[in-house]
């Protein structure tokens, strides 16, 4: 019995000798959160900048937006933000639209402002296309825009694979300019399929010369920015230019553009379809210097 107790005591001592002392745990350092300390503040700053940058547009969308029950197309919120923002930052310039039969029947009595906020001073009306076509709404739009006392202009959609002189005659036979009208507009957007770019330029020059000779005023040239820069800028620099660029990140009119068409999704009371919106790179008084 004594020997058993002695053995138990020995074993207890042995186990106590092997037992390691318990170390106190050091408090763990908090790991750095890149998402919390870097990304989130940047996101919040970007969000607040966006709210401030588009504050007027947001106000319009929230309180002044065209009523949904009206028979009119309203573009996406993102597009509306850009349209309103661009117009807001060009209030020292002059605003206008261009129309054709694609806008359907227009109630010109209601045509006063873009996005219910920015006054319309001028309008370009499509008159002809190619060598034989007349826009089926031209006569009405041409007459009504004059009655509305808007500064009006007529444009021809040029078809690069048709005879340039026949196209010029089509425009001349359709459009009768009056005092106070803007110069004729040549709308060229497409490259030819059956001729070279060099021959296209010869045809454009023939159209421009014939139209200028008839009306006694140098025409305006309209085109997309890429086409204009690639094919027209050097050879037709003496003409007033009207450039289309719908890029969301382009917020200001280029100093070399006389007119800028910056969207085809504008909303105007009296017009049920989307409308192209344009900015003239000057005041209304300066625009009037271009008229016939």
Query: How many CA atoms within 13 Å lie on the side-chain side of 69?
Result: 0
The active-site residue out of 7, 70, 110, 189 is: 189
Rg (CA), the chain: 34
Active site residue 189: yes
CB-based contacts of 242-245 (< 8 A; 24+ apart in sequence): 242/185, 242/278
- Find the distance separating the first CA and the last CA of the chain, reported in whole Å: 131
User: Which structure tokens are listed for 181?
Assistant: 């009208």
Length of the chain: 292
* Phi/psi of residue 220, nearest 5 degrees: -100, 145
DSSP state of 103: G
User: Which structure tokens are listed for 104?
Assistant: 């359907």
Where do we find the tokens 């060099």?
A: 198
Alpha carbon dihedral 209, 219, 275, 101, in 10-degree steps, equals -40
Question: What are the percentages of helix, strand and coil residues in the chain, rounded to 5?
Answer: 40, 20, 40
User: Any bridge partners for residue 244, and if so which?
Assistant: 224, 261
DSSP 253-283: --TT-SEEEEEEEE-BTT-SS-EEEEEESS-
User: Any bridge partners for residue 221, and if so which?
Assistant: 186, 241
- Provide the annotated active-site residues: 189
């Amino acid at each position: 019995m004594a020997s058993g107790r002695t053995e138990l005591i020995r074993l207890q001592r042995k186990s106590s000798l092997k037992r390691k002392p318990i170390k106190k745990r050091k408090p763990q350092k908090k790991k750095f959160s890149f998402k919390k300390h870097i990304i989130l503040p940047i996101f919040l700053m970007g969000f607040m900048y966006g709210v401030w940058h588009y504050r007027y547009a947001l106000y319009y969308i929230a309180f002044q937006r065209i009523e949904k029950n009206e028979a009119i197309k309203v573009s996406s919120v993102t597009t509306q933000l850009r349209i309103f923002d661009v117009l807001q930052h060009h209030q020292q310039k002059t605003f206008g639209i261009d129309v054709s039969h694609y806008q359907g029947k227009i109630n010109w009595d209601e045509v006063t402002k873009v996005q219910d906020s920015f006054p319309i001073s001028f309008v370009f009306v499509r008159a002809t296309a190619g060598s034989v076509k007349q826009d089926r709404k031209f006569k009405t739009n041409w007459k009504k825009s004059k009655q509305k006392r808007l500064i009006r202009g007529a444009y021809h959609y040029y078809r690069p694979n048709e005879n340039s002189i026949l196209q010029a005659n089509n425009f001349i036979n359709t459009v009768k300019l009056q005092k106070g009208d803007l110069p004729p507009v040549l709308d060229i957007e497409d490259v030819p399929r059956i001729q070279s770019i060099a021959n296209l330029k010869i045809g454009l020059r023939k159209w421009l010369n014939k139209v200028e000779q008839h009306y006694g005023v140098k025409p305006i040239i309209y085109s997309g920015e890429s086409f204009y820069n690639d094919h027209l800028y050097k050879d037709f620099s003496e003409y007033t230019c009207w450039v289309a660029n719908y890029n969301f990140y382009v917020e200001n009119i280029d100093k070399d553009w006389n007119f800028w068409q910056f969207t085809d999704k504008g909303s105007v009371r009296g017009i049920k379809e989307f409308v192209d919106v344009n900015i003239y790179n000057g005041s209304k008084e300066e625009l009037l210097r271009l008229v016939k």
